């Protein structure tokens, strides 16, 4: 797909150095509605299905409905086929929206077995963990990462990963940002364990554009065996299952 300018496109420069040619993110216009929706889903992890049913509708489609084992709340989605998508008693991760009538509508791209990896659900879980620890990590970043940039907020490498990249391994996150030429500045980091004399040379990534870059990678990820590939990423990478998402490593 030929890259074009879009709302997901980022402007890249490398600190005070001469900017490298920006890597334009692909035009996500066709998938923009789905992409935006996926970031606003409610999620439930490890839900056990009960009372699963499939019934024809007047529109010619088929309505799938079920409840969690612990409540009588009904969740639903439609398909073009009567084939069963779920099994009573099995565990699933789901993402859903609530419409104006209060119905809980499953997003098909955010429905998967609990023991498998669903990129959108893993990404949403990682973002929630990052949001829960935002104050803590921002405080550490402000205290320990020292730079002279004045054109926005910058995250030290580790804290950038904790803020936006927990769904990936650290190495994959750093490799992606290097590949797309995401803007950074030189910095010094101070270890809270060793003290002020432990200054180490490092880099800090600009906050602006980081979330959009992660959105674009998840939206374009295609499963290839145990790994995922994307036109935005050089090589293959793994997306962590929800159970493996952590900010510790």
Tens-digit pLDDT profile for residues 49-73: 999 999 999 999 999 999 999 999 9
Q: Which of 63, 78, 113 represents a domain boundary (last residue)? A: 113
Total domains in the fold of the chain: 2
Residues 140 and 108 in one domain: no
- Looking at every residue in the chain, the average pLDDT score rounds to 84
Q: Which class for 12: exposed (0-12), middle (13-18), buried (19 or more C-beta within 10 A)?
A: buried
User: What pLDDT score was predicted for residue 1?
Assistant: 37
At residue 204, the 3 state secondary structure works out as strand
Helix count (H) and strand count (E) of the chain?
6, 12
Q: Which of 113, 132, 156 represents a domain boundary (last residue)? A: 113
Q: Tell if the pTM clears 0.85, that is, is over it.
A: no
226 confidence band (pLDDT: 50, 70, 90): confident
User: What pLDDT score was predicted for residue 116?
Assistant: 87
Residues 50 and 131 in one domain: no
User: What pLDDT score was predicted for residue 197?
Assistant: 52
Give the structural domain span for 85. Answer: 42-113
Residue with tokens 């030290």: 156
Residues 130 and 218 in one domain: yes
């Amino acid at each position: 797909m030929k890259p074009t300018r879009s709302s997901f496109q980022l402007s890249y420069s490398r600190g005070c150095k001469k900017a490298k040619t920006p890597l334009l993110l692909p035009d996500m216009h066709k998938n923009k509605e789905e992409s935006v929706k996926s970031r606003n889903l409610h999620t439930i992890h490890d839900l056990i299905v009960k009372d699963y049913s499939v019934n024809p509708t007047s529109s010619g489609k088929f309505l799938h409905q079920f409840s969690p084992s612990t409540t009588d709340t009904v969740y639903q989605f439609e398909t073009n086929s009567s084939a069963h998508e779920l099994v009573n008693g099995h565990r699933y991760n789901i993402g859903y929206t609530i419409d104006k009538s209060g119905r809980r509508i499953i997003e098909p791209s955010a429905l998967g077995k609990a023991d498998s990896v669903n990129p959108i659900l893993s990404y949403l879980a990682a973002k929630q963990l990052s949001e829960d620890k935002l104050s803590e990590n921002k405080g550490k970043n402000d205290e320990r990462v020292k730079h002279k940039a004045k054109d926005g907020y910058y995250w030290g490498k580790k804290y950038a990963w904790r803020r936006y990249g927990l769904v990936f391994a650290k190495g994959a996150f750093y490799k992606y940002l290097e590949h797309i030429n995401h803007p950074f500045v030189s910095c010094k980091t101070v270890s809270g364990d060793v003290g002020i004399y432990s200054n180490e040379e490092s880099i800090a990534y600009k906050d602006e554009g980081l979330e959009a870059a992660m959105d674009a990678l998840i939206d374009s990820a295609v499963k290839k065996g145990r790994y995922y590939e994307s036109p935005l990423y050089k090589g293959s990478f793994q997306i962590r299952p929800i159970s493996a998402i952590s900010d510790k490593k």
